[in-house]
Every structure is written in C-alpha cells, then in structure tokens.
Amino acid sequence: MDKFRMIFQFFQSNQESFMNGICGIMALASTQMYSAFDFNCPCLPHYNLAYGLGILLVPPFILFLLGFVLNNNISMLAEEWRRPQGRRGKDPAVLRYMFCSMAQRAMIAPAVWVSVTLLDGKCITCAFCTSVPVETLGNASHPRLSQGEIQRVLARIPCKEIYNGQQLIANEVAIRYLRCISQALGWCFVLLMTTLAFLVRSLRPCFSQAAFLKSRYWSHYIDIERKLFDETCAEHARSFAKVCIQQFFEGMSTDLVAARRHLPRKAPADAGEAAEKLLGITDRGTMNMALKSWHRCKPALQLHPPALPTRNGWAGEGQPPMHPSVPRKETAAYYSWV
C-alpha cells in the first residue's frame, strides 16, 4: 500500500506527472479493451476491408480525442489562444509547446492500440484476406471457379468454421502468411515510434534548449496562475455567500425583535474576517466587471509595488507607492483599468 500511495503522490505532484499517469492508465486500458474485444470478421468480400481497417484505425482516433478531453490543459490552451491581447501579449511558442505536449501524451494510447492490433494480426488477416497470392501459395488452376467466386472463397479465410476452399488454398497457410506480414508491420511501427521518441527527446535540447525552457516555464506559469485565480474566486464567492447569509439572518433577527418574539443573537466572530476577504467587491456588477477585466486585460508580467487606489477602487498612474510605518510582508498586487 505504501508503494501505491507513493505512486499516487507522485502523480499528484504536478500537472505533467498527473497527465503522464492518465496516459499510462489509458495505454493499459487500450490493451485490456483489445483483449476483451470480440473480433468477428464478416467474411464478405466487400466488408472485410472496411471492418478490418475500421478496427485498426477508428479506436485509436477515439483514444486520441479522449486523451485531449482528459487533459486539463486543453481548455487553458483554448482560453489563452482566444483571449484578447489586452495588457499581456500572447507568445506563440508557449501555445505551440502546450499543444505539442498534449498531442504527444494523447498519442500514447493510440500507438499502443495500433501496435497490439498489428502484432495480433486479426485485423490485417480480415482486411486483406482477398489479396492472398493464390498463384504462389495455393492452387490457382482450380477448375470451375470464376474470379468473383474465388474472392468469395478467400473472404472466408478468417472464418474457419465456414471456409470451404481447402482445395484452392489451405486455411492455415493463408492465415500464417497474413499474420507474418501483420507482425512485421507491427514491429516496424514500434521501431518507428521508439526512434521518433528517441530523436525528439535527445535532439531537441541540442538546438533550442533555451527556447524550450522558456516555453516550459511560461506554460507552467499559466497553469499555476489559472489555478490560483480559480482558488481566489472560490474564496471570494464563499466569503460573499457567508456575508449575504449573515446579513439575511441578521435582518430576520431584527424583524423578530421588532415583533418581540426572540432576543437578538450575537453576530458571529468571523463576520469581519469574511467581509475583509471581499476586497471591496461587494456587489454583482463590480464582480462581473473584475472578471471581464481579467479576461480582456490580464496584468503584464512585471511585478511592481502596490499603487495608491483611486476613488473608483482601481490603481492610478503616476502616483507614488505608499510606505507604511509598520513593517509588513511585501505583496505583489495587480490593478487594471476597467
């Protein structure tokens, strides 16, 4: 149990580790899905190819899309790509890094599916059984069979129980021939994927290590900034709801005292704390304005001392920073014009 807990904690350590764990689980799930899948070739000349290639290519496409759906960064990427320019520029290199990172992880499960399918050989046997070279492997001079009838006989090769062309070509010979080709393609695919992954991992730092580090850093920054903004909004919403509920019950207590039914209750001790967390945003319109301001003009990535607020609650330009007499912890605050 300790090992599983350590693995789980590692997956939760950061966003990349979490997504690597999700992709690994999806890769294992793809192999389990294929092993549990009941493969039934239609054994018809015009349907074998579509069924075999469909099983080979359609599930990987679904797994690829599922890898994007399970990746939390897809919404962050779309938001960063579609947001207005505002006070912070959009870096195309960061957007490319985020997309490539998601695409690489989403490709793991489809690659595993294609590899397992090719190494198993059922899909290739079903799809290309009508292309078996009868002249080389069988008896091409079998009498009284037209080309269409030969195609119908060959289409039944994957279905041993209904195959009736042993005199044309042996069922075991055709299946072994197609399975060998499929396994050769499977090992070539595995070798190709491994070689590409090796080249990407080993050669990328040799050419653009500095650009890669910058893109990776700002990608992490966008992720952390979004999480902190969500946490701040959730905390503000909680404080706002607490103050609203407290004011409601205080009003009810006042009405009850006026009717001489009950004595007024003491205000809770954390009422002032919740009011302080509202940061001066105490109505719906102001909150909506703050959210729109965050979306349209995100603050520039340059820390500065907090400026004196103006009458409307937002920072003004050209005002000197306030120097408090009592030492306190330095904070970096962002203000934007609305």
Residue 29: pLDDT over 60: yes
How many other β-carbons are positioned within 10 Å of the β-carbon of residue 85?
Answer: 10
Measured CA distances, 321 to 72, 276, 309, 337 (Å) = 39, 22, 10, 17
| Structure token pair of residue 130 | 């009508």
What's the mean pLDDT in 165-175?
A: 87
Question: Is the distance from CB of 335 to CB of 314 less than 8 angstroms?
Answer: yes
Instruction: Note whether residue 322 is domain-resident.
Output: no
Using CA atoms, how far apart are residues 43 and 51, in angstroms rounded to an integer? 10
Instruction: Note whether residue 19 is domain-resident.
Output: yes
| Structure token pair of residue 105 | 């992880």
Residue 76: pLDDT over 60: yes
| Residue ranges making up the domain that contains 30 | 1-210
- Please tell me the pTM assigned to this model: 0.71
Residue 261: pLDDT over 70: no
Q: What is the pLDDT of residue 193?
A: 92
Which range has the worst mean pLDDT, 120-124, 154-158, 306-310, 321-325? 321-325
Domain count, the chain: 1
pLDDT confidence bin for 269, thresholds 50/70/90: low
Using CA atoms, how far apart are residues 124 and 312, in angstroms rounded to an integer? 70
Conformation bin of residue 121: beta by default, left when phi > 0, alpha when psi is -120 to 50? left
Q: Which residue has the higher pLDDT, 315 or 42?
A: 42
Instruction: Note whether residue 35 is domain-resident.
Output: yes
Instruction: Note whether residue 200 is domain-resident.
Output: yes
Residues whose CB falls within 8 Å of the CB of residue 304, separated by 6 or more in sequence, listed in order:
332
Using CA atoms, how far apart are residues 294 and 290, in angstroms rounded to an integer? 6
Question: Is the distance from CB of 63 to CB of 110 less than 8 angstroms?
Answer: yes
Instruction: Note whether residue 139 is domain-resident.
Output: yes
Beta bridge partners of 111: none
User: Please, is 178 exposed, middle or buried when counting C-beta atoms within 10 Å of its C-beta (0-12, 13-18, 19+)?
Assistant: buried
Q: What is the pLDDT of residues 118-168, one digit of tens each?
A: 999 999 999 999 888 888 887 766 657 778 888 888 899 999 888 888 888
Q: What is the pLDDT of residue 13?
A: 53
Q: Which residue has the higher pLDDT, 138 or 19?
A: 138
State what percent of residues in the chain have pLDDT above 70. 77
Instruction: Note whether residue 131 is domain-resident.
Output: yes
Instruction: Note whether residue 262 is domain-resident.
Output: no
Instruction: Note whether residue 303 is domain-resident.
Output: no
Between helices 15-36 and 92-106, what is the axis angle to 10°?
Answer: 30
